[in-house]
Chain A
Amino acid sequence: MANRAPMLRIGQQDLKCRQGCGFYGNTQFDGLCSKCFRERNDKQRKRQKAGEDHETLKVNASSAGGTLERKSPQHSLSLGRANKTKKQPEKEETPAASSTMPRKKFTVPAVLQKTLKNKFPAIAPQPRVPSATESQFMLQLRQLRIPDDGKRKLKSEIQRLDHEIRKYMNNNSSKNVDELSDLVQNAYTRFADVVHNDARFEIATNEDRDIAIDFFEKVVMTQNHNLLFSPYFTTDEESDIKVQKRIRQLSWITTKHLDCSIDEVNAEARDLVYNAISELVGIDSYYSPQEKLLCTVRCCRHIFELLKRATGGPASADDFLPALIFVVLKANPVRLHSNLNFVNRFTNASRVMSGEGGYYFTNLCSAIAFIENLNGESLGISAEEFDAYMSGEQTYSTPWESALLACESLHLISENMKCMEQLQKRNSVISTGIKDFQRELIEFQREVTEKVDTVMAKAPLTLLPIKTPPFLISQARAHLAQDGVEAAAGHYQSNLLSLSPQTMTVKGKEQILEDSQLEVAHTLALKDTSVGSVGRLSPLHPNLPQPDQLFASPIFSYTPFDAVSLLEESSENDDVLMLGTEFHGGLTNINYDFDLSDQSGENSVADESKLNLDEFDPLVQERNTPAETTLLDTTADSLIDSDVPVSEVLLPSPLKPEVANYRGFSNFEIPSISCNTGDFSSLNQDVNDPVPLVQSNK
């Protein structure tokens, strides 16, 4: 097929010329009209460049290539035209062949000619198509597993039959296709005898002999396809057209008429029918009878596959023949009779008489015979009805035809259906995913609320009143008094900044605390809070006392610097008090602690993010407000109560800057100090009167 292009070119030229002039050929011009003759001369001149020795053969071959190709465009031509154009070339061609033949004889002796022909495909592979197929055959010949002598014999036999066929075709006296067929069949018989009895084939196996016989037939038939396929002196052409017309008239036949079990509407069945049809139509595209038979076999296997699905078991001939008839009717293959006759006449007779190929071919022949002869009775309808259908008086609509009409949309629909199915599948996957996700979400929500509830239950917000411990105010006042007014806005951040380097991570914190030699209980508490601060969802440690869980860490993380700041100013007795105050004022401290842990988690000291985080912290609000507004108010009250003049700046600020100042240097001293603070429980007891002490201290 790779050689299609050059073939096509020659064929088109031939067609154009003949269509254009429409004159009959002249023997003086190699059987062509003057125009065609000129063209041929041009071609010959071109070929002479390639090699002058093989000129005569090339002329033969090119005419062969031309006719081979010329036939295929006819498939697309309308019937009448195909008929007209086909006849003409046939007539013109034979004289052409006849003219070259004698020339051969004159130039070289027949024996020499043969040897020349033998060698030449091997020696000089040529760009022309026939030579390509020839060289392909040469290659195949070399691959045959028969002795070299046998190969030589095979070659000469091929040439002999070739020659005989051409000679017969050139003999202008009455031609009879049966004679020609006899000639070929006798040659087959003769060659089969040679292969099986000749000494040159002695060592070959039977299979190899069969292959050699097949090869013989294939080569001769392919080479002479143009002469033997639908010869002009037969009525094959007319039969082809007649049966084609007939099939067209019978397009109204449905599977029901034929007693056939094909489901015309089923898409899968239709696909298989299409496969069978394409194979059936493909028969025409092969040159050798063997290939045509193989194509028939493939077609029939598709039908069996189809029937197997329809009936559930291997189909018998009762099912098969109607199905084949249906397929032939729907396929309406071109040149049906020409193809069947070609196979019948020129293939080895045993091939159509036996074997799978023979069986299917017989079925095909009988299907066509049935189609040609069918009447109302054979379709199970009345003769009147049949006539009405045939004449077109009665319209019909078969599922097959309507499906053909709606083919495109049907196809689209089925495609869309497939697409929809896929989408639906995906959709269901997604919706189940959504459901799962929703369920998980609900579960999660439930868990969260549960945990929050447990936490809430463990740590009710009853601590609110403690938010504004008066002592803090007094403390603040004390600081104010000592160090003057600090920047209220800056205290918080500066405090954090000073802390962050040392308490970047929880671990660091812990370490510090460990260093501070706190009691085991304290460290435990710290750990708990750190856990709690990281994920409030995790259940709190049930072992530990509730206040510790919520407030311990703030206390302890802050104790150091708070303690420091206080310790700096207070005596040892005050330590106790201070711890107590820390405990009471835990809430304010908590906030700082959370911020720190958050920060440590992020490893960043950015103020902005810290503030944002605070917003989401449920405790933050409580802290923020107390720290800056509410706390101030309350403290103001308390301050008023205690008769101390209030400044807005006072409250939260004083502690922190101081811490910052002290922190840097005294950090490592913290442990000893906090250690000195001693027992928690003992502290708790002393918590009762911190304010007076502080105040007194001040």
Chain B
Amino acid sequence: MATAPRSGGSGSGAAQRPNGTSQNKSCQFKLVLLGESAVGKSSLVLRFVKGQFHEYQESTIGAAFLTQTICIEDTVVKFEIWDTAGQERYHSLAPMYYRGAQAAIVVYDIQNQDSFQRAKTWVKELHKQASPNIVIALAGNKADLSNIRVVEFDEAKQYAEENGLLFMETSAKTGMNVNDIFLAIAKKLPKNDNNPGTVIKPNGNESTQTTNNCCK
């Protein structure tokens, strides 16, 4: 990419809300999923969006880009979830994805120490390169297999606290904590913009700061 993309346009695409519901705020957030391959990133999202695990509906073409709307209090929050390729060789492409993202979930596998180390590097990178206000959550997936865990809960918990992350152990298989982690993120995200037409405006401003260094 020769040029940095622009993000001056402020949220014209966010006006999905029909007229006449102005007492409710509606926000759209871009959430990016990071983590080594096979830690269950897409399973987590599928569980959140479709409530499924393994039983895929015909209509689901891909699990790479999905949206889900949830309500907290008086706000309608629409998550736009961007999956990223977890393989090491594609690591360097990640900035393109988390550019302009308001939230990120870094996923690791509690049975796999390497994936936890990778998660740590993701967190470091996000702190360094992503927008400063980005909400980061750490998810220790496959919690249903906690009897053969390698990454201790306390260890991860402590790391999360040190770095100001949301932390939960989740299981896409059983559904444990899946909705909770998204809800926690939604609560933590700033929803200070009341204008329904320009919801993403503050976030758009955030991303302008980061555009120039992340598009390769």
Contacts and interface: CB of A to CB of B under 8 A. Distances in A.
In this complex, the member of B15, B54, B82 whose beta carbon has the largest number of chain A beta carbons within 10 angstroms is B15
A370 B200 CA distance: 30
Contacts of B165: none
Interface residues of A, number: 65
A20 to B, nearest CB: 33
Interface string A64-108: 000000000000000000000000000000000000000000000
Contact of B13 (A321, A351, A374): A351
Given A317-B85, A356-B65, A362 B6 contact: no
A182 B8 contact: yes
Contact of B1 (A349, A365, A378): A365
A366 B96 contact: yes
Contacts of A353: 5, 7, 30, 99-100, 204, 207
A320 B9 contact: no
B83 A314 contact: no
B54 A313 contact: yes
Given A341-B3, A345-B3, A206 B61 contact: no
A192 B11 CA distance: 9
A206 B197 contact: yes
Contact of B5 (A207, A320, A349, A366): A349
B68 to A, nearest CB: 14
Nearest to A375: B89
Contacts of B204: 349-350, 353
A66 B37 CA distance: 49
A210 B198 CA distance: 12
A235 interface: yes
Contacts of A185: 6, 8-9
A582 to B, nearest CB: 87
Contact of B93 (A210, A321, A340, A380): A321
B197 A181 contact: no
B145 interface: no
Contact of B6 (A182, A205, A301, A320): A182
A227 to B, nearest CB: 17
Interface of A: 177-178, 181-182, 185-186, 188-189, 192, 196, 205-207, 209-210, 213, 234-236, 239, 259, 300-301, 304-305, 307-308, 313-318, 320-322, 337, 340-341, 344-345, 348-356, 359-360, 362-363, 365-366, 368-370, 373-374, 377-380
Interface of B: 1-19, 28, 30, 33, 37-38, 41-42, 46, 54, 56, 60-65, 80, 82-87, 89-90, 92-93, 96-97, 99-100, 196-198, 200, 204, 207, 215-216
Task: List the 5 shortest-distance A-B pairs measured between CB atoms, nearest first.
Answer: A316-B42, A317-B83, A366-B93, A304-B62, A321-B85
Given A239-B2, A317-B82, 19 more contacts: A182-B8, A205-B19, A206-B196, A206-B197, A210-B12, A314-B62, A316-B63, A317-B33, A318-B85, A322-B90, A341-B3, A344-B3, A344-B5, A349-B6, A353-B204, A353-B207, A354-B30, A370-B93, A377-B89
24 contacts: A178-B3, A192-B10, A205-B18, A205-B19, A206-B15, A210-B12, A210-B13, A259-B87, A301-B61, A304-B64, A307-B62, A308-B61, A318-B41, A318-B85, A320-B83, A341-B3, A349-B5, A350-B14, A350-B204, A352-B5, A353-B30, A354-B13, A356-B65, A373-B216
